Structure 1
């Protein structure tokens, strides 16, 4: 079956009020109707949405589906970054991607992750000290603002060796980029980060240190090395991927545990289960609804549907992770689940290089928080929690908690 993105009839728009209220119910209906759907995004852009896990997994590894925006023939309307920030692994395919990946792997080594562990533990404890103080004086505290958001920023700051004197404004720019109040704030934040990273690369080139940026500058492969734009762009990618996803996984993950007291009790009783609990959280509570968009370089068939070259394809991770043909009782959160082969960190060529660091941060953050706050509970009814819900992600804006034993709010 072939459909046209220029069909006269209006395209279905699944991301409306029903989606805002319950995204997984919408994905469930789409899955039942078929794997592949031609729909409109909120801005009117036509996209092919893939919902069955088997098709998502297979297509993520299909090299005919490009991440390179040059292959877009449908007027892709994504936000335009400066060229120096766009030359990263998420926008490159095949030989270009493999070349950068080989060079980046030399800098992003297990040694860096291991070195960062004490720094992460120290950052977690400092933030928990502040969180406990806020709860003791005010009765409650917001996990998002005071724990989940600042933690990955401090880790990325350490990873890139951002000077202490610059960390406050660096964090302010990142906040302006991830949660801007206006488009002007977003543009200003991205420009400020761009200029800062250019300066940081120049500083590391002149005086290398024991950090990933210095190692990336020194990395060579058969005489090749990263260009200036590639270095700045990769630093920007580390910042984006390492900040936003980890923040939302910590807050979404904590709410998920609080919503499943039997699972939380099992995890408290056996803390060694945390690694597999993190894997189940990645499947069940991952904030990213979709993988990065793809553009077919030729006509491809997915789930029995022929998709023309140049169209925009979105793979729904949220739908795939709740696919009953792939997972037993997919809507059940189960830290004892044996099938943990999720797609949250990618699949194929674009598997996340920072996966070990992300897993470490989530495990340390949730593990130490549960240990330090044994009587943690929600400080507001779950139905009153504010969410950011778009076709792209599903994440808490705030997560007020308390340690008062009299608190009765339960998801």
Structure 2
């Protein structure tokens, strides 16, 4: 055990690197508290993070996690929105393997590439709207509607219902009371049951129709799993990508020399995106895990029966893995970063996220060569969420060039 015990609160949500500034003391795993009755071990080093994220003795199963909490505190605590939690992020193999196999085919490179025309068309429409304004919100006017529109197209959410998806997400992002959060979760579950029933009656070539078929014909999903997996794909399918685009663009705006180099060499964009995700990932920490056996991490052993929080953002700034890690370098070979996770829970939607970001950021930089923040960087506000690195709003002045377009 090394260093004083930490309390993970809003004081660690800083303008630059939340968790990173507060935790990189000596790098060793160390005890912390998410809440007074919720002790965890925090893992910050790159090698330790990879080991934890792929260790068979570290689990995600929601039922076992609840049992561990009850054992440690003497309290039974029901999960908010329990009807929406029976998905692959809350499962371990073999259940995780079964659930992931059902959705993995939706995110193959071939299927994702078929979405490119839709992504490009929607991106152009949103940039056209931004060009008409003296000031726009990078998140609300661009990243949010783009990523919601793309995931809804893939999953099969009708265009008329996509405003509902955005409204539900906006309400979910608020700091709701437990009662209000539970009511919203049940409302969402009811909405999805209705949408899935419509797919059952009139299937189409989309992911939700395929999930219904898997549930009805193959027995691959229980009714509860069908609703929970649909909710996961819908919300997680745009939220991290939306934040990744926002974080990447803000990073470029506060590093204008790097943005200029990227504009001068658009072929650098795929590599640059990996460095941007490493530098300021949309995932600041992996979802909470727990140990079912002792896990040795260097000189520290995390005992069985402990919660573990992996700080992906800190691991991506580990000098043992990345030279001069706090320097943004769009030519850096940043492959192996943990911005999309690692192990069996590696982000299934990473190919889609990469394509969306490539199109969105490429077109944005081309269309608005003088794009800049409309407020000082230090005034940007981040959501006080442990696991996500999420900007609430990013006011920008587009100052567009109104002629010519190029594809990413």
Q: What is the TM-score with the length of structure 2 in the denominator? A: 0.89
Q: Does structure 2 retain, via aligned residues, the 8 Å contact 1:379–1:402?
A: yes
Quote the residue 2:315 is aligned against.
Answer: 320
Q: Does structure 1 retain, via aligned residues, the 8 Å contact 2:283–2:340?
A: no
Q: Does structure 2 retain, via aligned residues, the 8 Å contact 1:112–1:211?
A: no
Question: What is the aligned counterpart of 1:290 among 285, 297, 310?
Answer: 285
The secondary structure found in structure 2 opposite 1:380 is: coil
Task: Give the alignment's Cα RMSD to 1 decimal.
Answer: 2.7
Q: Does structure 2 retain, via aligned residues, the 8 Å contact 1:288–1:318?
A: yes
Quote the residue 1:97 is aligned against.
Answer: 96
Unaligned 5+ runs, structure 1: 4-9, 406-411
Quote the residue 2:6 is aligned against.
Answer: 12
2:65 maps to 1:53: no
Question: What is the aligned counterpart of 1:36 among 21, 25, 29?
Answer: 29
The secondary structure found in structure 2 opposite 1:171 is: helix
In 2, Cα distance between equivalents of 1:194 and 1:111:
31
Question: What is the aligned counterpart of 1:162 among 157, 168, 178?
Answer: 157
The secondary structure found in structure 1 opposite 2:114 is: helix
Q: Does structure 1 retain, via aligned residues, the 8 Å contact 2:287–2:387?
A: no
Q: Does structure 2 retain, via aligned residues, the 8 Å contact 1:143–1:399?
A: yes
- Cα deviation digits, residues 150-208 of structure 1 (max 9, x gap): 11111121122112222222321122113456555533432222111111111112211
In 2, Cα distance between equivalents of 1:22 and 1:304:
32
Q: Does structure 1 retain, via aligned residues, the 8 Å contact 2:107–2:351?
A: no
In 2, Cα distance between equivalents of 1:28 and 1:219:
45
The secondary structure found in structure 2 opposite 1:333 is: coil
Quote the offset at 1:26 in angstroms: 5.8
Q: Does structure 1 retain, via aligned residues, the 8 Å contact 2:382–2:392?
A: yes
The secondary structure found in structure 2 opposite 1:306 is: strand
Number of residue-to-residue matches in the alignment: 394
Quote the offset at 1:62 in angstroms: 0.5
Question: What is the aligned counterpart of 2:63 among 55, 70, 78?
Answer: 70
In 2, Cα distance between equivalents of 1:32 and 1:93:
32
Q: Does structure 2 retain, via aligned residues, the 8 Å contact 1:71–1:297?
A: no
2:302 maps to 1:307: yes
The secondary structure found in structure 2 opposite 1:149 is: helix
The secondary structure found in structure 1 opposite 2:7 is: coil
Judge which range, 76-85 or 291-300, deviates more: 76-85
Question: What is the aligned counterpart of 2:241 among 246, 249, 253?
Answer: 246
2:208 maps to 1:209: no
Q: 1:194 to 1:337 in 2, by over 3 A?
A: same
1:364-379 counterparts in 2 under 5 A?
Answer: 364-379=359-374
Q: Does structure 2 retain, via aligned residues, the 8 Å contact 1:295–1:312?
A: yes
In 2, Cα distance between equivalents of 1:240 and 1:223:
25
Judge which range, 32-41 or 173-182, deviates more: 173-182
In 2, Cα distance between equivalents of 1:263 and 1:365:
17
Quote the residue 2:184 is aligned against.
Answer: 189
Quote the residue 1:409 is aligned against.
Answer: none
Q: 1:247 to 1:25 in 2, by over 3 A?
A: closer
Q: What is the TM-score with the length of structure 1 in the denominator? A: 0.88
In 2, Cα distance between equivalents of 1:23 and 1:155:
29
Quote the residue 2:268 is aligned against.
Answer: 273
